[in-house]
Chain A
Amino acid sequence: MIDFTSTPIILTIILGAVGVILPVINVIKKEKGSSSFYGAITLGALIAAIGFVAYQIIADKVAPAAIFSENVLVDDMFGSFFAITMLIVSIMTTVGSFSYMRGKAHPAVYYSLILLASVGMVLIAYSTDLVMLLVAWELMSIPTYVLAGFMKKDPASNEAALKYFLFGALSSAIIIYGISIAYGLTGSTNIAQVISGFSHLGPDMMPLALLSVAMFIAGFGFKMGLVPFHMWLPDTYEGAPTTISTLLAAGTKKAGFAAALRVIVMGTVALNLEWTFALGIIAIMTMTVGNIAAIMQKNITRMLAYSSIAQAGYILIGLSIAPYSQIGIQAALFHILNHAVMKGAAFIAAAGIITTLAVSHLDKIRGLGKRMPITSIGLVVSLLALAGVPPLNGFWSKLMLFGSAIDAGSVVSWAPYLAIAGVLNSALSLAYYGWMIRKMYFEEGESDKRVKEPKSIIAVMVFSIIFIVAIGVYPDPIIQFTQSAVPSISTVSIAP
């Protein structure tokens, strides 16, 4: 029995149908429409989708019940939380693309691929079965491979797409191998049954279970940009169209965390292993490498790419201490939502700078505050929020993350070191964010003439400034939302 009124099914139908129809419209229509026509349809579909999710949450209709009899998808608050996050990112990407795609070829395909990737990202968060997770993972990945190489006359875009594809395909191959071991050990592909099966394994089979979890960490880690698996990330974010870098940094990376929360964290809770320690080490490595490499960059998008690696390290703190602290996962969810908006705003601002001024080198943005005032303010606010300056939203989520790490210190002795590493790294990151802000406002540029900023970029900037400051001043509703999103994972996954 399929319940056609449940959120994941409706979202798939809205987004998937529009995504499939857009290229058909492109073929049928005689005169080739402008790119904003397709952009408007995409935006309409995404807003309808996010409105539906919000309505389901506000009307309290989110019931954690299985949708198919085989328990493939579940309509719970965890999925709804990630759906809202991913759809906000997709909307920001789409609006930012209005100016970026002007005059470029094949707008219908571009927007259609964004919609299909959004379906994949949303379904990852709702899936409770490894087969569904795999299908949703590929539905998210394959459109983004094409999108990264969308500017096919541009060598950088080509190179970015090829590197992204090779590492992405490797990550899915590793995930499939991990799933095959998990299936062989437990005889099921349902995540909850796999985990309860793992916890009843004999000691001779335990190494295989560890191998399976390690393969999941590696596979999801490629998309999350964790440190041993991050080599592709700066190249891809720099070479891909900047709006697509937004989708990758703010969207697909978060989908990796959604999958990791569904599988790895609950697995570590059930297995009661030393994996949390390994995750903690990866978290510290990720944030340190990301921040140190970001300091040395000369290119805006490349610097933002390394900073997004560092932010993945902060989020991983919450995952690694999940079994020991009540608020670990909650803090991670809060930072995931915040980071999606902050990093999305920063990348869209970079896209605006690259489209209007055609520069991406950090030395060329001197005096930007006078030339593009609204974009500059948006960029400054998002950078400060990324660094965790109060009273912006990034401060509260980092406070919760580091607080939960200290809280977990009563159970495991290494947890407070995560908080110390996090605080030191935040201070380090303020160095390069502040350096960039100084260039924009306190250094003389080549000209003071104000250039016309694209309206779509202004719209995204205004939305993100309002979001970042509002959550920073009054974080309570979002904190409650994240709190309601947490228990539904544990009830779904721990249940036999």
Chain B
Amino acid sequence: MSNELIEFVLVSVALLAIGIYGLAVKRNAIRMLFAIEMIVNAANLNIVAFSRFIPNSQGQTLALFSIAIAAAEVAVGLALIIVAYRMYKNIDIADFRSLKG
């Protein structure tokens, strides 16, 4: 493993850690969505960095697919958040308590 690869992987792990911290601490739906996107992008960075050192094109295909999928997911998620905002005037998921057991 070359030194360059280590640097990329370290950045990716840092992004993953920030994403997990954000999910654990924040209760705002948009912030949680950002945190999830950060994890996805950490994975994308990983994939692209690895594919630089692996002699096949599967990694780049995977990165393209995963970016496209993440975009579709964010579109649906933002739509759901907008509908929830219209109803509650708030996107703090700690305030969504109509369902409880």
Interface residues of A (CB under 8 A from B): 130-131, 134-135, 138, 141-142, 145-146, 149, 152, 155-156, 158-163, 165-166, 169-170, 172-174, 176-177, 179-181, 183-184, 187-189, 234-235, 238-239, 293, 296-297, 299, 302, 306
Contact = CB atoms under 8 A, between A and B. Distances in A.
Nearest to A174: B39
Closest 3 pairs (CB-CB, A-B): A184-B50, A180-B46, A173-B39
A138 B69 CA distance: 7
A235 B54 CA distance: 44
Contact of A172 (B54, B56, B58, B73): B73
A189 B99 contact: no
A183 B58 contact: yes
18 contacts: A134-B62, A135-B69, A141-B73, A146-B79, A149-B83, A158-B84, A166-B93, A177-B39, A180-B43, A180-B46, A180-B47, A183-B50, A183-B58, A187-B55, A238-B99, A296-B101, A302-B101, A306-B101
Contact of B56 (A134, A142, A180, A187): A187
Contacts of B93: 162-163, 166
Contacts of A158: 80, 83-84, 87-88
Interface residues of B, number: 45
Given A160-B99, A166-B36, A177-B43, A142 B76 contact: yes
A238 B100 CA distance: 9
Given A159-B99, A166-B77, A179-B47, 15 more contacts: A130-B62, A134-B69, A145-B76, A145-B77, A146-B76, A159-B98, A162-B81, A166-B36, A166-B93, A173-B37, A177-B39, A180-B12, A184-B47, A234-B101, A296-B101
Interface centre among A161, A173, A184, A299 (most CB of B within 10 A): A173
B84 A173 contact: no
Interface of B: 12, 16, 19, 23, 29, 32-33, 36-37, 39-40, 42-44, 46-47, 49-51, 54-56, 58-59, 61-62, 65-66, 69, 72-73, 76-77, 79-81, 83-84, 87-88, 93, 96, 98-99, 101
A155 B80 CA distance: 12
Nearest to A180: B46
A166 B91 CA distance: 12
Nearest to A132: B65
Nearest to B99: A235
B66 A134 contact: yes
B29 A162 contact: yes
B72 A142 contact: yes
Given A134-B66, A183-B47, A189-B58, A173 B76 contact: no
Contacts of B55: 187
Contacts of A297: 101
A172 B83 contact: no
A120 B44 CA distance: 22
A188 B56 contact: yes
Given A162-B84, A163-B93, A183-B58, A177 B23 contact: no
Contacts of B47: 179-180, 183-184
A142 B19 CA distance: 21
B62 A159 contact: no
A131 B39 contact: no
B32 A166 contact: yes
Nearest to A141: B73
Contact of B36 (A161, A170, A188): A170
A156 B83 CA distance: 12
Nearest to A237: B99
B101 A165 contact: no
Nearest to A306: B101
B80 A145 contact: yes
A284 to B, nearest CB: 21
A155 B29 contact: no
Contacts of B88: 155, 158
A179 B99 contact: no
B86 to A, nearest CB: 9
A131 B61 contact: yes
Contacts of B76: 142, 145-146, 165
B61 A155 contact: no
Contacts of A141: 73
B32 to A, nearest CB: 6
